[in-house]
Amino acid sequence: MSRHEPGEKRQRTKRSLKEMFTSRTFRVGGYSMAACAIVVLIAIVANLAVGALPTSVTQLDLTDDALYTLSDQTRRIVSALDEPVTLTYLTITGQEDSAVRTLLERYADLSSQVKIETLDPIENPGTAQQYADGEPLTANSVVVSCGDRSRYISYNDIYVVEYYMDYYSYGYSYTTSFNAEQELTSAIYYVTTESLPVVYTLEGHGESELSESLQTLIEQDNMTLETLSLPRLEAVPEDAAAVIIHAPQSDLSQDEADRLRAYLDAGGSVLLITDYIEPDAMPNLLAVAEHMGVTTGEGMIIEGDANYCVSGYAYYLLPDVMEHEITQPLIDGRYYAMTPMAQPLEAMEEVTDATVTTLLQTSASSYAKAEGYDMQTTEQEEDDAVGPFSVAMASQRGDGKLVWVSSAMLLDDMVNSMVGGANHDLFLNALGWMSEREESIAIRAKSLDSDYLTVTSAQASLWSVILIGVIPGVLVAAGIWIWIRRKRR
């Protein structure tokens, strides 16, 4: 073997390696590997970036009723937090409710002040029961806390099931709603607010009791509800943000009326809801309202325009909602309010220092039957007063405020359900306006059932004509036309 052979072999190896590294195949392969590495790096960075994004961005809310989309009010309250709030989720490991968990994450996305903790009530029964604050402990419940204040939200309050009598099937039906946002936002507002307004309901005159569902809404709106018996007191309590007088069946005494007027003059507020009042039947109660520049007209209102009443019930009024701070949420949401068997309300021109505003107004086709409940016919007669009429009014005189709705059925649960909860919203908005609260929680529970439309008489008649007459007629005419064309061929 020549002594030059090993050197030549090394040279050939070098040339081969050089040719391999400089060949087109190697360059293409190198570019491919570099591209793959860059793609992998981009994927890793993108994955980390997406993981850092809030769930509201990474998880789209495709539910029918936007269960996970937070309202503007919730966004405003949570975004403005200046102290830490903890949402403790009490759930058994492996049995989380995905809807509740997702909603909690949406709250945490809104503010760095919101922190989520998870506690298993099976593994930590003592701590979990302490969080429940004496209430029955349920899995998938939530505790909202801030400093020394806390509120326990039971799972039974997150998913609300309401039963009602179905008069068509003679059985009970139920609706289910997802109430988590209302409960959570209310609790956050509660634990971060130092003092809550106290609202009194007057008693002693046959007043109707507020329903349990409405009392719950008042508490969820972070107001304390108490009863008030004026004959036992020298004056309305100083801590009263408002006094509710709900459908009294007998008149106030002169002393009670004087105390309410003094309360209004001192900057108090009265929310008055009345049944039909016969002429001269309740002079002392009317004197309180007239002190604020509002009085009643005569008669019970019948609606002559089918667009302003429930189909087939001309005295179940669906009045126009007029512009005011109280009614603006209803206007924004395009909701009706319903005022069955209402009486006209009128502003008194002689009370010149009161600012009186109509909240709800009937159509120009409405009329008032002077006989009230004793009317012999609902048809319009020559001596009937003609609308439009006010059936809800707000008055402010100095710092005192009065809201009067002339329908005793305004707060009835069934009537309220016929307008999707708008009547209760109107009531709560009025309390919020009178107590001058910066925030009144007006978040609706989100239905998990099918939604139903409120259809007026005119709408029902129009759709009946279209569905029963127009559409079948068009189809028949089209069929005849096609048959004639084919026959001519």
Are residues 383 and 357 both part of a single domain?
A: yes
Compute how many other C-beta atoms are within 10 angstroms of the C-beta atom of residue 316. Answer: 19
Whether 4 is in a domain gets the answer: no
What was the pLDDT predicted at 61?
A: 47
Burial 327-344 (b: 16+ CB within 10 A, else e): bebbeeeebbbbbbbbbb
Q: Which residues of the chain have pLDDT under 70?
A: 1-32, 43, 45-67, 162-175, 438-458, 489
Whether 453 is in a domain gets the answer: no
Question: Which CA distances in Å does 60 have to 69, 107, 447?
Answer: 9, 15, 19
Are residues 189 and 90 both part of a single domain?
A: yes
Question: Which CA distances in Å does 488 have to 106, 483, 484?
Answer: 67, 9, 6
Are residues 262 and 397 both part of a single domain?
A: yes
Whether 317 is in a domain gets the answer: yes
Are residues 224 and 191 both part of a single domain?
A: no
What was the pLDDT predicted at 165?
A: 52
Whether 381 is in a domain gets the answer: yes
Are residues 305 and 384 both part of a single domain?
A: yes
Are residues 289 and 156 both part of a single domain?
A: no
Q: Is 436 helix (H, G, I), strand (E, B) or coil?
A: coil
What was the pLDDT predicted at 398?
A: 95
What was the pLDDT predicted at 57?
A: 47
Are residues 335 and 249 both part of a single domain?
A: yes
What whole-number distance in Å separates Cα of residue 252 and Cα of residue 32? 91
What whole-number distance in Å separates Cα of residue 307 and Cα of residue 314? 10
Tokens read off for 2:
């020549």
Tokens read off for 316:
């179940």
Are residues 323 and 426 both part of a single domain?
A: yes
Are residues 34 and 128 both part of a single domain?
A: no
What was the pLDDT predicted at 353?
A: 93
> What does the pLDDT look like over 44-72, one tens digit per residue?
766 655 544 455 444 544 455 566 788 88
Q: Which domain holds residue 470?
A: 459-489
Are residues 299 and 410 both part of a single domain?
A: yes
**pTM, rounded to two decimals:** 0.71
| Burial status of residue 226 (CB atoms within 10 A of its CB: 0-12, 13-18, 19 or more) | exposed
What was the pLDDT predicted at 452?
A: 47
Compute how many other C-beta atoms are within 10 angstroms of the C-beta atom of residue 267. Answer: 11
Whether 446 is in a domain gets the answer: no
What was the pLDDT predicted at 23?
A: 61
Distance of CA 79 to the CA centre of its chain: 20
Nearest CA-CA partner of 174 in 449, 421, 489: 449
Whether 7 is in a domain gets the answer: no
The single residue listed with the structure tokens 């007043």 is 207
What total of structural domains would you count in the chain? 4
> What does the pLDDT look like over 262-298, one tens digit per residue?
999 999 999 999 999 988 889 999 999 999 999 999 9
Whether 211 is in a domain gets the answer: yes
Whether 46 is in a domain gets the answer: yes
Amino acid identity of residue 65, one-letter, is D
Are residues 329 and 431 both part of a single domain?
A: yes
E strands, 180-258, in order: 198-202, 224-228, 240-246
Boundary of a domain, candidates 146, 178, 197: 197
CATH number reported for the structural domain that contains residue 161 in this entry: 3.40.30.10
Are residues 74 and 210 both part of a single domain?
A: no
